[in-house]
């Protein structure tokens, strides 16, 4: 089970994880911009310079924390039962997305509240061949959404039309889920409403609406 890693590699991996963990904790506590390398070093009994053996810069560390948050979001999404009917599956996918934001608001806000840093690692620089959904090649979460939408289309649960195909539909349901997630992550304590029920209702309205054919 244990990889054929040398003790050195195992140690390095462990301290790297320690750095990343305290960094994420610090980010949750005070926000990403207030993250201090020196504070991280202090908490794990390292010298500030010592961190540079594991992360080339503060930005690189933040980027790693970003990827980690993205990975955790993926856990929520993959927890949805893929055996559900295509329509229900899309609904639950959106609700899982929102639930991640509700249960980890700091992670969510930080994941999507970062200037450009994010998604540079999952997007090849300057690739013009973004015709369809080779996005998924670099972002497994987005790939999951695309395939779910495609399945709903194939099952005739969702209707396409000219200029409103798989990509546009995926964007639409992502937008709804992302909007609810963002609003909750920010204004949860202020806006008093039954989020779980409201989200499900909203999601159902959207999926159902994508199944009808709108006039004009």
Partner DNA sequence: CGTAAAACCCGAACAGTGTTAGATAATCCA
Partner DNA sequence: TGGATTATCTAACACTGTTCGGGTTTTACG
User: Interface residues with its own copies (CB under 8 A)?
Assistant: 31-33, 109, 112-113, 115, 119, 123, 130-131, 135, 163-164, 167-168, 171-172, 174-180, 182-183, 186-187, 190-194, 197-198, 201-202, 204-206, 208-210, 212, 214
47 binds DNA (CB under 7 A): yes
Q: How far is the CB of 64 from DNA (least distance, A)?
A: 13
6 binds DNA (CB under 7 A): yes
137 binds DNA (CB under 7 A): no
38 binds DNA (CB under 7 A): yes
Q: How far is the CB of 10 from its own copies (least distance, A)?
A: 35
Using CA atoms, how far apart are residues 193 and 87, in angstroms rounded to an integer?
25
Q: 60-63 long-range contacts, Cβ below 8 Å, gap at least 24?
A: 61/19, 61/20, 61/23, 61/35, 61/37, 62/23, 62/27, 62/32, 62/35, 62/114, 62/117, 63/117, 63/118, 63/120, 63/121
Using CA atoms, how far apart are residues 109 and 125, in angstroms rounded to an integer?
24
Token pair recorded at residue 12: 């390095």
Residues 6+ apart with CB under 8 A from 122: 138, 139
Find which of DNA, its own copies, none residue 71 binds, CB within 5 to 8 Å per kind: none
Using CA atoms, how far apart are residues 185 and 98, in angstroms rounded to an integer?
9
State which residue, 56 or 124, has the beta carbon closest to DNA.
56
Find which of DNA, its own copies, none residue 115 binds, CB within 5 to 8 Å per kind: its own copies
Using CA atoms, how far apart are residues 5 and 193, in angstroms rounded to an integer?
51
204 binds DNA (CB under 7 A): no
Find which of DNA, its own copies, none residue 81 binds, CB within 5 to 8 Å per kind: none
Using CA atoms, how far apart are residues 183 and 178, in angstroms rounded to an integer?
9
Q: Compute how many residues bind DNA; rule: CB under 7 A.
A: 25
Binding site for DNA (CB under 7 A): 6-8, 11-12, 15, 35-39, 41, 45-50, 52-54, 56-59
């Amino acid at each position: 089970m244990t990889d054929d890693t040398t003790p050195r590699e195992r140690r390095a991996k462990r301290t790297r994880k320690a750095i990343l963990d305290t960094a994420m904790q610090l980010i949750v506590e005070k926000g990403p911009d207030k993250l201090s390398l020196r504070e991280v070093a202090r908490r794990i009994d390292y010298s500030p310079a010592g961190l540079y053996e594991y992360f080339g810069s503060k930005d690189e560390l933040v980027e790693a924390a970003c990827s980690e948050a993205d990975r955790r979001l993926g856990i929520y999404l993959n927890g949805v039962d893929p055996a559900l009917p295509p329509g229900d599956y899309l609904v639950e996918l959106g609700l899982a997305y929102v639930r991640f934001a509700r249960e980890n608001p700091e992670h969510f806000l930080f994941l999507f509240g970062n200037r450009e840093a994010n998604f540079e690692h999952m997007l090849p620089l300057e690739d013009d061949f973004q015709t369809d959904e080779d996005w998924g090649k670099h972002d497994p979460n987005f790939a999951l959404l695309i395939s779910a939408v495609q399945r709903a289309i194939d099952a005739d649960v969702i209707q396409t039309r000219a200029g409103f195909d798989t990509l546009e539909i995926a964007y639409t349901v992502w937008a709804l889920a992302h909007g609810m997630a963002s609003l909750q992550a920010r204004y949860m304590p202020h806006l008093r409403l039954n989020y779980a029920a409201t989200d499900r209702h909203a999601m159902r309205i959207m999926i159902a609406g994508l199944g009808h054919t709108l006039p004009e």
